[in-house]
Amino acid sequence: MMLSGLDLPKPLIEAYGKKGITELYPPQEECVKKGLLEGRNLLISIPTASGKTLVAEMAMHHHIAGKVNKGPSKGKCLYVVPLKALASEKYEEFSGKGVRIGIATGDLDKRDEYLGQNDIIITTSEKADSLLRNNTRWMNLITCLVVDEAHLIDSENRGATLEMVITKLRYLNENMQVIALTATIGNPRLFAGWLEAEHVSSEWRPVDLKEGVFYSDTIYFEEEEKKIKTPAKEDDTNLCLDCIEDGGQSLVFVSSRRNAEGFAKRMAKALEKSGFSDPALEDIQKKLEAIAETDMGKILASCTAKGAAFHHAGMKREQRHIIEQGFRDGYIKVISSTPTLAAGLNLPARRVVIRDFLRFKGGEGMLPIPVREYRQMAGRAGRPHLDPYGEAVLIAKGRDMANGLFEEFISAPAEDVKSRLDDESALCSQVLSLISTEFVKNNDDLVSFLKRTFYTFTNKKSSHLSDIVEKAVSYLEAAGMITKIDDRLFATDYGNLVSHLYINPISAEIISTVLREKQKTLLEIKRLGEVEDIKASDIGDLIKTEPAKTTKSVNPVYSIDSMKQVKSASAKSMLKKTAFTPEDISAVFSDIGLLQLLCKTPDMYTLYVRKDDLPVLESFYYAHEDELWMEISYDTMEDDFRVIKTAMLLDNWISEIGEDTICTRFGVGPGDIYNVVEGMNWLLYSASRISYMMAPDLKISVSEVELRMKNGIKRELIPLIKLKNVGRVRARRLFNNGITSPLKIKEANFDKLSAILGQKIAGQVIKQVEKEYGNINNTEIIINNTEIKKEHTLREE
């Protein structure tokens, strides 16, 4: 089927033509035949690189051109991806074809109304969920929803969110076309049935894929055998050397970062020994060296110089980009990777070696990876137009094992997908958001809305559904996030806040319980005679059960509505009068205590504890026992230590310990630091919003840690970090030179400031201080021909 014969906008056909795409691949043709351009829902499960994205793109352009809908919005499309990195990849792919593309992956409590101006909005499932929770208007105008990697509805952590996003959007936009793109799954009919979709499935691939098992010196494919040379001792190295000698590149999937790094080192040596070299690798090495701050970064640079690299989530984003590009350009010959690379990134290679097909699962030992994951890795084999075929190879230790691997992976059926809404905490969070956004008004609404989910579609017993809904509602009511008046369910201010912040209600409860407890202790320390009878918890309770009256916005400290409920005059006066000294606060507040609390919530990913960590963790525990807020119990020791380790790392980060030292101390990579800091930033922001409502006297202390976490600084740098263009490094330099506050900047002489910050930044900082802290009238300084006046005294600070 020729593209030119389809009813598609010209710019799109021209853009495809420029890439040499003029005719549809067979599975794409089937999609068109099954109603792609007539607004039909489709579940498309075809192999990687067989043109799924292109199919979705055609449908979206068809909508945007107004060929499907006649309503107020002729065509607006939402493209949901599982990872932020993929959102950027798709953004680039969709750009430049005559339609407006937007990308929504930012903060989770923003509505991003402006994004509604776009024709296609690319987003992650979490961001889509948060846009829905924030009642973003343009979400009601979506006419075409594309769900990339839709089988992730089965993902343990994130599947429930994706399921609710699909359900809510279908509820909001009745005639919306749904296009679900999935890997091969075991129960496509059931999934398609839920989506009311036609199913398109095919094994067709643009490049042939041969799957086989390597044993001794031979790859056993289904229909042929291939003997290879074995110059090295290890099978994995030999498989890569053989492929490179034949003009190809290899990807090697291993189970851990350590294995990925270990393999790349070994492969680099083998490549050097084989005489392989390429001058272009020197440039890549230089780029990597320039950003290598840790041993890991240096190892990466030196391996890459020989043509072998590794790829995992512990690396910096720039490092990963350089490696990906070096591989796409054909210079890097081998990448060893953890399975994360298989999840979506478009980085094919002639030969994919699936070396570690067993994975450790806590409590169950080493288990085979799911077939779906194997397929995803194997699917990376073969670059369209570049390789004559792709090869996916498993490595066996013996003949018997080789047979087993065929059965276990190559000829095994893919697993079924199932709903993850049965997870209580995920359900609680979704129920809260349904009530908060007024999607539902009472229990009956709730049950009938949830009947639209994949969960109910696959578990038809609705009595079970009523039970779990009842349970979630009771939990939320007891936590004070919702309240029932007659039959009606309302979210309280607190409930609305939690829903907007997009944190798990269980996390919010953990945080608010402890913070309220601290606030109460503070009040007890003060023991204001006149208000002794009012306890902080009483006030907290009043706030908790007060339904939000008008808008969805969250009222600040002791909201006006709630204040009206505080009947006692003495309680009001207490709220006004309580002023605590830093000593009072430090008696109840500690940085590490707060970090421990937040690391303990289900929203925080915590670090794995190695054997080597135990002595350090124990001594840290004894040294800081008094500052910790949560007890360590024998039963949950393993989790508690993970929490302590993560909190310790974060404490190091806000104590300005160098990245390299943190990496060595905790056995992590710079990417891990970035990930835990990013996760903690959101929780600190949430905690500061919760404290504003529940524990107002701790708000400043929480916000300070929030600011320090964002910048990786000690408390003493806070006054300086607030200045524009002053980050952690410059602030530290200023401080160490005796310039400890904006006032000191005003007092400093310009030459001294320029020596510390450079002329340009010094000029900008002076200007800023001058603007924010008073006029400068005495001295004139010339910087880059710009006059900047400087004053020596502050009017007020």
Residues that bind ligand ADP (CB under 6 A): 19, 21, 23-25, 28, 48-54, 384
In the complex, least distance from residue 48 CB atom to ligand ADP, rounded to whole angstroms: 5
In the complex, least distance from residue 373 CB atom to ligand ADP, rounded to whole angstroms: 16
Pick between residue 384 and residue 556 the one whose CB is nearest to ligand ADP. Answer: 384
Tokens of 83: 């990872």
- What residues have CB less than 8 Å from 250, skipping those under 6 apart? 239, 240, 243, 244, 333, 334, 335, 349, 350, 351, 352, 353
The CA dihedral of 127, 131, 133, 139, to the nearest 10 degrees, is -130
In the complex, least distance from residue 352 CB atom to ligand ADP, rounded to whole angstroms: 15
DSSP 570-614: HHHHHHHH----HHHHHHH--HHHHHHHHHTSTTS--PPPPTTHH
Q: Report helix angle 317-328 to 295-306, nearest 10.
A: 10
Interstrand relation of 308-311 and 334-337 (parallel, antiparallel or unpaired): parallel
Pick between residue 21 and residue 299 the one whose CB is nearest to ligand ADP. Answer: 21
Pick between residue 52 and residue 420 the one whose CB is nearest to ligand ADP. Answer: 52
- Phi then psi dihedrals of residue 124, to 5 deg: -90, 165
Task: Write down the residue that tokens 């994975």 correspond to.
Answer: 359
Pick between residue 183 and residue 315 the one whose CB is nearest to ligand ADP. Answer: 183
In the complex, least distance from residue 148 CB atom to ligand ADP, rounded to whole angstroms: 8
Pick between residue 197 and residue 491 the one whose CB is nearest to ligand ADP. Answer: 197
Pick between residue 17 and residue 106 the one whose CB is nearest to ligand ADP. Answer: 17
Separation CA 49–CA 205 (nearest Å):
7
DSSP 8-state symbol, 389 = E
Please provide the distance, in angstroms rounded to a whole number, between the alpha carbons at the two ends of the chain. Answer: 73
Separation CA 788–CA 764 (nearest Å):
9
Q: Edge-to-edge strand order for the sheet containing 144-147?
A: 101-104, 120-124, 77-81, 144-147, 177-182, 42-45, 198-201
In the complex, least distance from residue 340 CB atom to ligand ADP, rounded to whole angstroms: 17
In the complex, least distance from residue 356 CB atom to ligand ADP, rounded to whole angstroms: 24
Tokens of 418: 């199932």
Cα 124–130–134 angle (5° rounding)? 145
Helices in 140-182 by DSSP H: which ranges? 159-172
Pick between residue 46 and residue 335 the one whose CB is nearest to ligand ADP. Answer: 46
Nearest alpha-carbon partner for 207 in 52, 384, 54: 384
In the complex, least distance from residue 246 CB atom to ligand ADP, rounded to whole angstroms: 23
b/e for 449-460, b at 16 or more Cβ within 10 A?
A: bbeebbbbbbbe
Compute the chain's Rg from CA coordinates: 29
Pick between residue 201 and residue 675 the one whose CB is nearest to ligand ADP. Answer: 201
In the complex, least distance from residue 89 CB atom to ligand ADP, rounded to whole angstroms: 9
Separation CA 86–CA 588 (nearest Å):
44
In the complex, least distance from residue 317 CB atom to ligand ADP, rounded to whole angstroms: 22
In the complex, least distance from residue 53 CB atom to ligand ADP, rounded to whole angstroms: 3
Asked whether the beta carbons of 324 and 86 are under 8 A apart, the reply is no
In the complex, least distance from residue 198 CB atom to ligand ADP, rounded to whole angstroms: 18
Pick between residue 29 and residue 234 the one whose CB is nearest to ligand ADP. Answer: 29
Pick between residue 231 and residue 384 the one whose CB is nearest to ligand ADP. Answer: 384
Separation CA 386–CA 469 (nearest Å):
53
Asked whether the beta carbons of 742 and 730 are under 8 A apart, the reply is no
Cα 235–239–245 angle (5° rounding)? 140
Pick between residue 2 and residue 560 the one whose CB is nearest to ligand ADP. Answer: 2
Separation CA 560–CA 539 (nearest Å):
13
In the complex, least distance from residue 3 CB atom to ligand ADP, rounded to whole angstroms: 8
In the complex, least distance from residue 55 CB atom to ligand ADP, rounded to whole angstroms: 7
Pick between residue 81 and residue 239 the one whose CB is nearest to ligand ADP. Answer: 81
Task: Write down the residue that tokens 């137009």 correspond to.
Answer: 385
SS3 333: coil
Task: Write down the residue that tokens 């709903």 correspond to.
Answer: 419
Q: Edge-to-edge strand order for the sheet containing 389-395?
A: 225-227, 218-221, 208-215, 389-395, 351-354, 250-253, 334-337, 308-311
Helices in 489-559 by DSSP H: which ranges? 493-501, 505-526, 536-545
In the complex, least distance from residue 346 CB atom to ligand ADP, rounded to whole angstroms: 7
In the complex, least distance from residue 206 CB atom to ligand ADP, rounded to whole angstroms: 6
C-alpha distances (whole Å) from 128 to each of 142, 166, 183, 432, 714 are: 12, 10, 22, 16, 35
Pick between residue 24 and residue 341 the one whose CB is nearest to ligand ADP. Answer: 24
Pick between residue 372 and residue 746 the one whose CB is nearest to ligand ADP. Answer: 372
**What is the number of other CB atoms lying within 10 angstroms of the CB of residue 619?**
10
Asked whether the beta carbons of 221 and 211 are under 8 A apart, the reply is yes
Separation CA 85–CA 93 (nearest Å):
13
Pick between residue 346 and residue 777 the one whose CB is nearest to ligand ADP. Answer: 346
Pick between residue 23 and residue 470 the one whose CB is nearest to ligand ADP. Answer: 23
In the complex, least distance from residue 635 CB atom to ligand ADP, rounded to whole angstroms: 46
Tokens of 591: 């940085």
C-alpha distances (whole Å) from 594 to each of 226, 687, 691 are: 59, 9, 12
SS3 402: helix
| Beta bridge partners of residue 2, listed in sequence order | 23
In the complex, least distance from residue 260 CB atom to ligand ADP, rounded to whole angstroms: 24
Pick between residue 58 and residue 628 the one whose CB is nearest to ligand ADP. Answer: 58
In the complex, least distance from residue 235 CB atom to ligand ADP, rounded to whole angstroms: 29
Pick between residue 10 and residue 715 the one whose CB is nearest to ligand ADP. Answer: 10
